[in-house]
Structure 1
């Protein structure tokens, strides 16, 4: 009898399993076309093998392209904001979990105008004029993919060259017309005779190192020796590398700043029409490589590790806290006073799958950890008493307006700046950490805006807003009259990839330059967070010169081949950057920054955390790095907390080893 009952039970389970396997999601339309401004409810239903609708189930809709302007919310309400093609994923949670796809195509708006950009007040014959043409559609979006046709009313006076350049040939007037999709814009050109007869050229130095910036000063004179202050000067360079196996390379800006990637001799040129001048400079080897030693590890091999924070406790000892990702909501506390003997001393477990971010107050008494994936969907943040890191305790939990998940947080002067559902951040007063309260908020008003991170320094909040770039917000600095309860944005910068994931401010005290380092986050090769496959990221660091807050510009970058940046830190003109599968990279930021920092030899050292006993064996995926009291601490997604030490400058010709 028992055998019969067992067989029936097994048969029922098998039937139920087979029936479950026959279920699928049927969408209203696999290919949806929309026009900008249109809204549409996407439809989905669970059907059996015969196509019949079964019992109602919940659905979750989301777009693959998180950095693009949003086209769908979790309920499936699609809003056509920006032209393009978007993959929308439809998931029905439960047993079994079902999944389907909808492709949403948003048609572009018609072209509305063509803009010639800034044109020189005086156009001299014989000097090419590059045009900065922009095409805008009726929805207000720039359309760089559009082909512009340029024509001249008189080719003898001004002709059109490839790549939107004008060649003024002789004095006279002509009209240049730009046409795209039937939209025309005409520019009146008045060419005058070129008075430039001679150029005097100087450099601020004639010898330096690779990575050093040479600043040129060119003076244009007429035949009588009078200065022509508005003369357009074109700069260029040629070179000869000291290493015959390396091609000479560098960067010359239109303002006359030059930097060499390879050590060698370089001829720097200034031309204006037929007038020209040159100067030769020498770039020597930068020679800054140093040895870096692995010191210790606090192993975490049963789950993914997220961010870290290292601080000096009120007892004078050194401690660290690390989060966990896609696991059970645990945060670990470590004694790192002896970096060679990192000790796990306590932990806190909260209702979450991911504790993505961890921060500690300036006085070392309070920690805040973020929550995502809570079972009750409240998420929010947790405030912890860490005055005794060996016996931490939860002071309070806070989820008001934060139920959509907190990905990142920051503590600054008794306030927590906490992200909310990837859309905004709130200023939360924790003067009494048992009674946190929201006092302010910051959110962009751009279509489909999103946010990943916020970092606060000297009363300025630097938020990384993906396609909207970095936002500089006064939350107590005074530069724009902002406070935690009244954040005031005063500067920003966005770059084309739309991948701005993290930001860190840096001022070079010697040059007076103020930079903000922006980091990408991209996974073009895919990511397997729940599996056991090693991962590889992409993206690099963008160095933005914010010295002129009204005119920020990207001046340099740091890239590691076949790897991607994540979190980073700057101390004493040195950058400590986590590059996921490429470990920690240590980079010299001293002096004016320009061009490709890696090619210039500015990388001081690197170290990759490989652990045969890791959550994924020997698969480095470094999350963040932080210098502290002469050591570098870094967390790794697959292996926990590590420490290393950068050794003093190595004498020339000594052997360099990297772990």
Structure 2
């Protein structure tokens, strides 16, 4: 048996903010705490709410800063509803301020850059609504939320991954850093060269050596932040390339590893060169070759894999056959715990040579417990024990 095998499923608990008459913020550390308690009178008042109004159609928050959102609960005639209890739920990139707020105001803080939503949920009688499997709740409003990243401060340009030889291309890499020293999440970079006849660079940073010499590359964001890098282009020394195997057969989806070696006129291996790798489909169109010299085909057929630089090149023929048909899965037995939802699964061989499985559970619905199963005989799965995980 292969061990350990892990299948991980992640759940996310959204932060929540309670609004009760004067809009009081509360924490929601777990899924069970998303909805606050409400009396029958408060739920009756909630049933009168027909609309939740926000002070804007979109909420934009700078990262690390707090904004105040105006909101209110209204009935079908446009009158303010008093005494109702509601929840403002935000996506994970926005955090509530866990404090009492007077008036119809909610204070929110931008935590992480990105886009999300802000939803208003009103507590109503138990038979008049349900949200996320919880009775007595009704969603009545939603607006988009954007958290803007910290301002960009500088561009950090990395060294090229290979020596820039004439006739070769490498991808330049750079990071836009914020005033807080983190990588900016949305800033884009445009590149240009001071001497395209020596080093040509695309807007996306693909650098190609044209002739021996030096050139200055300039990287600039849409906001005007810029940095420069001086690149030296060296005459290409490669005169021959070898590629093994020269021909091979494989199956669709299997990986073929090529040994590709570039040499100069004296037979010395040139290791710091970025070779051009390409695939030509002779009888297929689904073949791919990667920078590390591996090839894989998604379709059957014959393919020519080519490595080249300057006037030197080498090629290999790969014939790709179909894989064997799928093997039918036979159901033998299953272990059931109907009162909880399974999260992760570990299957392993124990020190006694027997096979066991651990299953985790989601916290909502009575989880927070790990179950231990005996699975040596897959036709007779049995529960051995469980442990509470906090």
Sort the TM-score into its range (normalised by shorter chain): 0.5 to 0.7
Aligned pair count reads 316
Structure 1 position 199, deviation (Å):
0.8
Structure 1 position 20, deviation (Å):
4.4
CA contact (8 A) 1:61 1:73 kept: no
- For residue 127 of structure 1, what is the aligned residue in structure 2? 168
Alignment of 1:151 with 2:188, yes or no, is no
- For residue 232 of structure 1, what is the aligned residue in structure 2? 274
Look at both structures and tell me which one has the larger radius of gyration over its CA atoms: 2
Q: Secondary structure at the match of 2:258?
A: strand
1:573-609 superposed Cα distances (whole Å, 9 cap, x missing partner): xxxxxxxxxxxxxxxxxxxxxxxxxxxxxxxxxxxxx
- For residue 314 of structure 2, what is the aligned residue in structure 1? 277
Alignment of 1:174 with 2:215, yes or no, is yes
- How many Å separate the matches in 2 of 1:360 and 1:121? 42
- How many Å separate the matches in 1 of 2:361 and 2:161? 54
Structure 1 position 371, deviation (Å):
5.2
- For residue 88 of structure 1, what is the aligned residue in structure 2? 118
Q: Mapping of 1:591-610 within 5 angstroms?
A: none
Query: Structure 2: which 5+ residue stretches go unaligned?
Result: 1-42, 100-105, 129-136, 375-379
Distance 1:21 1:366, change over 3 A: same
CA contact (8 A) 1:28 1:42 kept: yes
Q: Secondary structure at the match of 1:193?
A: coil
1:306-332 superposed Cα distances (whole Å, 9 cap, x missing partner): xxxx4xxxxxxxxx2143xxxxxxx3x
Distance 1:215 1:23, change over 3 A: closer
TM-score by length of 2: 0.67
Q: Mapping of 1:490-569 within 5 angstroms?
A: none
- How many Å separate the matches in 2 of 1:80 and 1:19? 29
- For residue 620 of structure 1, what is the aligned residue in structure 2? none
- For residue 209 of structure 1, what is the aligned residue in structure 2? 251
Q: Secondary structure at the match of 1:235?
A: strand
- For residue 321 of structure 1, what is the aligned residue in structure 2? 336
1:150-209 superposed Cα distances (whole Å, 9 cap, x missing partner): 222222221223542222222212211111222111111111211111111112971222
- How many Å separate the matches in 1 of 2:344 and 2:318? 48
Alignment of 1:261 with 2:298, yes or no, is yes
- For residue 357 of structure 1, what is the aligned residue in structure 2? 342
RMSD of aligned alpha carbons: 4.0
1:125-170 superposed Cα distances (whole Å, 9 cap, x missing partner): 2212222343344352434562x33222222221223542222222
Structure 1 position 358, deviation (Å):
7.5
Alignment of 1:372 with 2:357, yes or no, is no
- For residue 341 of structure 1, what is the aligned residue in structure 2? none
Alignment of 1:60 with 2:87, yes or no, is yes
Worse-matched range after superposition: 271-280 or 113-122: 113-122
- How many Å separate the matches in 1 of 2:71 and 2:320? 64
- How many Å separate the matches in 1 of 2:270 and 2:357? 63
TM-score by length of 1: 0.42
1:74-114 superposed Cα distances (whole Å, 9 cap, x missing partner): 98652212334432011121235442224333334332222
- For residue 230 of structure 2, what is the aligned residue in structure 1? 188
Distance 1:30 1:212, change over 3 A: closer
- For residue 102 of structure 2, what is the aligned residue in structure 1? none
- Higher RCO structure, 1 or 2 (CA under 8 Å, sep 6+): 2
- How many Å separate the matches in 1 of 2:141 and 2:52? 6
Distance 1:45 1:208, change over 3 A: same
